[in-house]
Structure 1
């Protein structure tokens, strides 16, 4: 979902190749980099699987994610022609991951529903009410995590609520 949101936001702000390039940069730093780190950890036996079910093992991958997001944010700030909506998306990712990391120190929260809730909210702010049609993706994401027995209902609800709240708060402050 995050890669889709990065490209959708970038293309809305900068149609064509420029938007594709911005979407690719943000996707690489904010999603592909941390996923590759986890994937490599799974292949080396550091993590049981790509969902990193052990709460204490999530801290390092989250810090890698924060590093990639901070790099994306710094790049977007440094280049004046960078799309403002994409800057907002990356700021939402940063704030959301910092909050998620803080919660993870004490309790297991669903990162998947944090991302789903935040992504759907960002798409609503970027494209308008028509994109409320994507909100069932939050429920589908939560259902899949529940069906796989990776999270409890409260962890899923907390994640979706956090992602949505952070997105609303950041977009409201920036506009």
Structure 2
């Protein structure tokens, strides 16, 4: 087997149990796996999770079972279910804070950058989010510098705007993983 620059790299991909945005889960996941990165999917439970467009995936572990020291990056998928399942998830907030403290790649797309904002990870950092009054306000109220861009990389933090950004979001994460 040919060695890749991503050999041994591991990503924790967090999704909402219901109503995750399909493209924001499946597109980056496929990019990561094609590059040779090991992806572990986490949600509130290991029951099959359902996307907004009908896609399903069986999480490997629960969010509360995840240990950030086992991963090089945390990627939080978006979708309308993020507000219900992820924004205030204490176990996820703990993982994000730990990943940030260890300077691991910390990333979120669509409305999920709100999770990063609420943990303080985006304070003083340029970032993006799905453009709606409540999500932009959440970022700004927590000290983030909001930019209306497809993808924003700020140090070891990557944020993506929406489903159309999923490919560029995944590629930006892979670029940072090269240096991790």
TM-score by length of 2: 0.29
The structure that has the greater radius of gyration is 1
TM-score by length of 1: 0.29
